[in-house]
Amino acid sequence: MNVNTRNYILAAALGLGMAGAQAAGVTITVSCGTVGQDFEFCKKATDEWSKKTGNTVKHLTIPQSTSDILGLFRQMFAAKSADVDVISVDVVWPGTIKSHLLDLGPYAKGAEKAHFPALVANNTVDGKLLAMPWFTDAGVLYYRKDLLAKYGEKAPTTWDEMTATAKKVMDGERKAGNADMQGYVFQGKAYEGLTCNALEWVASHGGGSIVDASGKVTVNNPQAAKALATAAGWIGTISPTGVLNYGEEDARGVFQKGNSVFMRNWPYAWSLSQGSDSPVKDKVGVVNLPKGGDGKPAATLGGWQLSVVKYSKNPAVAADLVMYLTSPDVQKDRAIKGSYNPTIPALYQDAAVLQANPFFGTLYETFVNAVPRPATATGQKYNEVSAAFWNAAHTVLSGKAKPEEALKSLDAKLGQVRRGANW
């Protein structure tokens, strides 16, 4: 564990890094996301709940990296800490931290039936509803409508088309005076975000999903190798070498400043790109991520849930907060103002939601049929599996290994992680 995570743990233990004044009633401490507007929207909704109930909400400061967030939570769980009541849970975590989460079934009282069944199933472990869906996610391709029109190009449907168009527009814009123009930016640093990107490359080339539903390791195949080779070819050509250290916000920063033709990111970046101070306002389009050759477009399933830590001293009140934050009204507000994908199908037919996010309607099937990471098949070993995968992908992107040798080594590594017939 790194120094930052240890410092967050210490801050939590000492009650530091939290906001919110004391008030009459129960005090609930919640952790919110850190990317984009996550914190601001969570703060807004929790303030509303506080006014309705007379309770107080404190916000626990957490790291930006999902890996560090999970590390922090695990340290708190090990101590059976009551320092946090409600936590945001990545879609791949329920099975990993199941023993530390409260069963929300008795508190939901059937409200979960309004949400996407696949997400409810994802959050239900051993018959217990361990998390309520908060917002869902899937990777999408952002592009500059104005620049593609300027160069007579259309939104790409294959990675090869994207590569060629990115190079053409990038070269043209650099000759026109923008030396900072890039062709494509994405999440390329060695962390969970690269697992999401690389899974999209592999799956869209017909290379599977690392580990199949039966638990068999399938990633060492020619299609996966081709996918990684294609991505490696972007580094230093249409993508800056710095992309090897990019997370979501790094990529968004470059794209939103007007310095990239294409960007892979999550839907949250849409509302930010359309802000009044955005240099690319009204110049951005959103489409499916490209496919590889004869493959199919693939978007990694993302999104976050809300759970109550079972060590909470006020589980019923904490559960009430979770039910409020995941309610239709709050999800609609977050969708309109922050472009967060609702987990309630009915909201995809809401006129106000579609007006704010036109692509929610056209890409609905993309969000519903997003490719899950192999968290269910690998259970508590998922984090080791993901780390091995993102590190293998990073070695290829950085030119330290050929795709075939990286995947062969990955296959052997995953065999060691599995150690036997079952994960």
**pLDDT-derived band of residue 32, with 50, 70 and 90 as boundaries?**
confident
pLDDT of residue 35: 64
pLDDT over 70 for what percent of the chain? 94
Distance CA(140)–CA(259), nearest Å, equals 18
pLDDT of residue 293: 86
- Enter the DSSP assignment of 290: P
pLDDT at position 328 over 50: yes
Average pLDDT along the chain: 92
pLDDT at position 33 over 80: no
pLDDT at position 152 over 70: yes
DSSP letters for 351-385: HHHHHH-THHHHTHHHHHTPBPPTHHHHGGGHHHH
- Comparing 4-8, 34-38, 42-46, which segment has the lowest mean pLDDT? 4-8
> In the predicted model, what is the mean pLDDT of residues 161-172?
98
3-state secondary structure of 304: strand
pLDDT of residue 65: 81
pLDDT of residue 8: 38
pLDDT of residue 16: 36
> In the predicted model, what is the mean pLDDT of residues 137-153?
97
> In the predicted model, what is the mean pLDDT of residues 368-393?
93
**pLDDT-derived band of residue 9, with 50, 70 and 90 as boundaries?**
very low
Residue 266 φ then ψ, to 5°: -90, 165
Distance CA(316)–CA(319), nearest Å, equals 5
Q: What sign results for the dihedral spanned by CA atoms 103, 106, 107, 111? A: positive
H-helix or E-strand spanning residue 336: helix 328-338
pLDDT over 90 for what percent of the chain? 86
pTM of structure:
0.86
Distance CA(130)–CA(319), nearest Å, equals 11
> In the predicted model, what is the mean pLDDT of residues 144-149?
98
Other CB atoms within a 10 A radius of the CB of residue 277 amount to 7
List all residues 6 or more positions away from 394 whose beta carbon is below 8 Å from its beta carbon. 188, 189, 190, 194, 244
**pLDDT-derived band of residue 36, with 50, 70 and 90 as boundaries?**
low
H-helix or E-strand spanning residue 143: strand 140-144
> In the predicted model, what is the mean pLDDT of residues 15-19?
37
pLDDT of residue 177: 97
> In the predicted model, what is the mean pLDDT of residues 139-166?
98
**pLDDT of 115-137, one tens digit each?**
999 999 999 999 999 999 999 99
Residue 291 φ then ψ, to 5°: -110, 165
pLDDT at position 24 over 80: no
Radius of gyration over every alpha carbon of the chain, rounded to an integer in angstroms: 21
Take residue 63 and report the two structure tokens written for it.
């790291």
**pLDDT-derived band of residue 37, with 50, 70 and 90 as boundaries?**
confident
pLDDT of residue 14: 34
Listed residue (42, 109, 49, 93) closest to 303, CA to CA:
93
Helix spans in 127-189 (H) = 145-150, 159-175
pLDDT of residue 64: 82
pLDDT at position 11 over 80: no
pLDDT of residue 13: 36
- Residue 82 exposure: Cα atoms within 13 Å on the Cβ side: 8
Distance CA(33)–CA(38), nearest Å, equals 5
Residue 373 φ then ψ, to 5°: -75, 155
